[in-house]
Amino acid sequence: MGENLSAIHPSQFTFFEAHAPFDRMEHRHLQWMLEHMQVAYYEAGEIILTPAQGSISRFFVIKQGAVHGEQEIARTDEQHAWLELVEGECFPLGALLSSRPVASVYRAASDTFCYEMAAVDFNTLLEMSAPFRDFCTRRIANLLEHSKSLIQARYTQSSAEQQSLTSPLAALISRAPVTCTESTTVREALEMMQHHRVGSIVAVDSEFRPAGILTLQDVLTRVALPQVDLAQPVLGIMSRELTLLAPQAQAHEAAMIMAQYGMRHVLLVENGRLTGVVSEKDLFSLQRIGLRQLSLAIRHAENLGELRRSAADIHQMAHNMMAQGVPPEQLTQFISTLNDLLTMRIIELEFSASELAGTEMLASVCWIALGSEGRFEQTLKTDQDNGLIFEVPNGLSAQQVREKLLPVAARINIALAECGFPLCNGKIMASNPQWCLSLQEWKQVFAGWVENGTPKALMHASIFFDFRALYGKAGLADTLRTWLMGEVKGKSRFLYQMAEIALQNRPPLGLVRDFVVSREKTIDLKLNGITPFVDAARIFSLAAGVTATNTVSRLRASAEQLRFRPMEVDAWVDALLFIQVLRLRHHDELSEQGMADTELDNRIDPSQLNELDRRILKEAFRQARKLQSRLAMEYQQ
């Protein structure tokens, strides 16, 4: 039964100002809202909303007590409600925005008081208040932005650090690029660089399209040492392999390219025309970590000792970037990219020192990354998951090739362990004969999983579907991926089994104040937080024929093919990235306490989170359940 608010008490403002999104609304809009609200009481067990009631007529904010959402498709084995809402939370936003019935039964979990507002007033408030409208239409994204601002406030060191690796490259450009024509002489080009005091000059054609670039480093190696004729056209000595990005691209993309390929400059091009040049120096003030120097040190390392130091530098760089507020998707890609470089250098050194150096056999080998490395999602805590694909030369058997490769693979795995990547407890490594296979043998293994895999086998095999080429003949991995996509197509039994396994891992939402925790009062953010998203994205990508291995890329690429709503996918991605933020922050805090990276864990005590992060984590787990509901609807009978 409802009771109108005859007068607004200051405590009511205090209540709403403690909860998002009301804390960001203008006071006059908050007052208007309160003037159009009433308070209603529901006794424990009483149904508040049900799908049978039809279109929703009221907007609810819980003043005191708790409300459970019950939905059979997502009910856990323990018969918990699929969600719990507590003080300050509002509902049912999706039904109100879509003018449809609710999908769940909302029931008072205890004696509960709710602020209520008519749907017509809810719609008026949407038009009136931008923060309220933004929250209702992008709930988890809005909460994440709020949390992010608090995190940045915690880490910000000075106003000079406000620009970040998320800045558009165009924002880093302070001057027009120095250019010359394709026929400009070397001497003239050098004089122009000296006059403008720049470290690069770009040759452009008549339509201002870039044709080549000369840098100060090139001057030493391509002009001074070879003593070239300064009267010749500069284009003849310029680098013609150009890296082009759009001005709207973010700084982290340029930094990633510089780290991967050891470059110092990226050209900004719009509609084919050169608009600017971004140098390593431009990015250095954003990074404060010497990203390119670190990648160069890895590339030129000559022994394991140097690589161990580089591995430590990667971990320190990750800590620094975390402190600077670099978003989790970018941070994990940076970590994975640098770990890739380190792994590749270890492989190069070990193969070069082996009896296989220079042989045809070695030219037909592909080292593949699996698991989180295969998905570009590594954090500070990561073990090894890898394998080898090879071609069988004429006159040899697969077993003979394997016997040659296994000793080298074992040395590589040991070297990686010495650089901080522990050996895999499940022995999913290239030194295991089971995962050092010819292309044909890999096809047979995958075919066995797809055609006849048992639930237990598929559970352990799931990370193999995340493979990507890391070193050697990448075409072998590409061939295997193309074959696998064709093999999976139309295999409904396989997808059903994969979905059945994925749905066994339910997000830890419960009735006892939000979360289901272990005996130690903790939640495993990797197993119960990240993994539901990873598993679902993998299944969707296999069903849609998407070749990407990164989880976010899989979700976005599969969405169009499987006709998921963009807002639905955005919410899944935001939820996944927030859990990854918590995980990275947890690792960072443990490292600050002196814990070694190999000792880091993924377990957090949710009671130690601040109120906002607890609320977002709840919402993130709800999104995981919604994703699993979609998975069940698509692939379960």
Lookup: tokens for 565: 């709503």
- Is 177 contained in some domain? yes
pLDDT range class, residue 354, cuts 50, 70, 90: very high
Q: How many domains does the chain have?
A: 4
Which helix (H) or strand (E) covers residue 217, if one does?
helix 216-218
Calculate mean pLDDT across residues 621-628: 91
Lookup: tokens for 235: 């284009």
How far apart are alpha carbons 566 and 554 in whole angstroms? Answer: 13
Other Cβ atoms closer than 10 A to 225: 9
| pLDDT at res. 71 | 60
309 and 446 assigned to the same domain: yes
| pLDDT at res. 159 | 33
Domain finish residue from 287, 313, 332: 287
Long-range contacts of 569-573 (CB under 8 A, 24+ apart): 570/138, 570/141, 571/139, 571/140, 571/141, 571/623, 571/626, 572/533, 572/623, 572/624, 572/626, 572/627
469 and 522 assigned to the same domain: no
Domain finish residue from 287, 315, 345: 287
How far apart are alpha carbons 520 and 518 in whole angstroms? Answer: 5
Lowest mean pLDDT segment, chosen from 229-233, 400-404, 488-492, 591-595? 591-595
For 539, half-sphere exposure in the C-beta direction (CA atoms, 13 angstrom radius) is: 28
573 and 599 assigned to the same domain: yes
Partner residues linked to 459 by β-bridges: none
Lowest mean pLDDT segment, chosen from 90-94, 182-186, 202-206, 400-404? 90-94
pLDDT range class, residue 476, cuts 50, 70, 90: very high
Nearest by Cα to 42 from 21, 68, 20: 68
| pLDDT at res. 584 | 84
Which of residues 34 and 256 earns the better pLDDT score? Answer: 34
451 and 323 assigned to the same domain: yes
- Is 158 contained in some domain? no
DSSP states along 258-306 = HHHH--SEEEEEETTEEEEEEEHHHHHHHH-S-HHHHHHHHHT--SHHH
How far apart are alpha carbons 484 and 294 in whole angstroms? Answer: 36
334 and 463 assigned to the same domain: yes
380 and 427 assigned to the same domain: yes
Calculate mean pLDDT across residues 367-389: 91
Lookup: tokens for 37: 């609200």
282 and 306 assigned to the same domain: no
- Is 142 contained in some domain? no
520 and 478 assigned to the same domain: no
472 and 345 assigned to the same domain: yes
Domain finish residue from 259, 287, 315: 287
Across 397-443, the runs of DSSP E, i.e. the strands, are 436-438
**Does residue 295 surpass a pLDDT of 80?**
yes
CA angle 97, 102, 103 (to 5 degrees): 120
Which of residues 69 and 117 earns the better pLDDT score? Answer: 117
Residue 468 contacts residue 368 (beta carbons within 8 Å): yes
Residue 200 contacts residue 216 (beta carbons within 8 Å): yes
Nearest by Cα to 189 from 156, 220, 219, 155: 219
- Is 152 contained in some domain? no
Lowest mean pLDDT segment, chosen from 6-20, 135-149, 383-397, 524-538? 135-149
Q: What are phi and psi of 70, to 5 degrees?
A: -120, 125
| pLDDT at res. 80 | 44
Residue 412 contacts residue 364 (beta carbons within 8 Å): no
Can you give the CATH number for the domain in which 449 is found? 3.30.460.10
pLDDT range class, residue 75, cuts 50, 70, 90: very low
Lookup: tokens for 615: 């609320």
Calculate mean pLDDT across residues 609-616: 82
- Is 585 contained in some domain? yes
457 and 349 assigned to the same domain: yes
Per-residue pLDDT tens digits for 84-128: 788 999 999 888 987 888 878 899 989 999 999 999 999 999 999
Give whole-number Cα distances, 319 to 26, 331, 418, in Å. 37, 10, 20
Per-residue pLDDT tens digits for 260-286: 777 789 999 999 999 999 987 777 554
322 and 350 assigned to the same domain: yes
| pLDDT at res. 597 | 67
Nearest by Cα to 469 from 488, 482, 451: 482
Eight-class DSSP state of 423 = P
Give whole-number Cα distances, 458 to 104, 173, 494, 498, 548, in Å. 32, 50, 9, 7, 20
454 and 510 assigned to the same domain: no
- Is 493 contained in some domain? no
Can you give the CATH number for the domain in which 227 is found? 3.10.580.10
Can you give the CATH number for the domain in which 512 is found? 1.20.120
Q: Can you give the residue range of the structural domain that contains 184?
A: 169-287
Nearest by Cα to 252 from 318, 362, 331, 154: 331
**Does residue 230 surpass a pLDDT of 80?**
yes
| pLDDT at res. 28 | 93
Give whole-number Cα distances, 467 to 287, 373, 545, in Å. 30, 9, 15
What percentage of residues in the chain have a pLDDT greater than 70? 89
Residue 561 contacts residue 546 (beta carbons within 8 Å): yes
Q: What are phi and psi of 367, to 5 degrees?
A: -85, 125
- Is 525 contained in some domain? yes
- Is 157 contained in some domain? no
